[in-house]
Amino acid sequence: MHAADGFVAINDINPQAPVHVLVLPERHVDTFRDVSQFDEAEAKRMLAFVAETAEKAGLTDYRVVVNVGPGGGQTVFHLHWHILGGRRLEERLL
């Protein structure tokens, strides 16, 4: 999808919403538990990139999800953020 300043955004290969984008840091970090490996400026850039990615995907309302550990649903052990949008949350629950 796009990349900038150490981060990349790609479409999820198994989307759980009409829009499902993953944001990954290029630098390897196993899980969100290890987010302290990013200094303050890099962490700020990462969160800004998540917001920018959602905007570029045409989303104004969306969810940002991070699965942490196997019990939390993490299956890929490289930190990544899920951006999900394109329908109201209630539509999935019905």
pLDDT in tens, 30-42: 999 999 999 999 9
Q: Which residue among 20, 28, 80, 82 is the active-site one? A: 80
DSSP symbols for 20-46: EEEEEESS---SGGGGGGS-HHHHHHH
Judged on CB neighbours under 10 Å (0-12, 13-18, 19+), 82 is: buried
What are the sequence ranges of the domains in the chain? 2-93
Q: So what CATH class is 2-93?
A: alpha beta
The alpha carbon of residue 67 and the mean position of all alpha carbons in its chain are separated, in whole angstroms, by 10
Give yes or no: 28 in active site: no
Is pTM beyond 0.85? Reply is: yes
pLDDT in tens, 28-83: 999 999 999 999 999 999 999 999 999 999 999 999 999 999 999 999 999 999 99
The alpha carbon of residue 85 and the mean position of all alpha carbons in its chain are separated, in whole angstroms, by 12
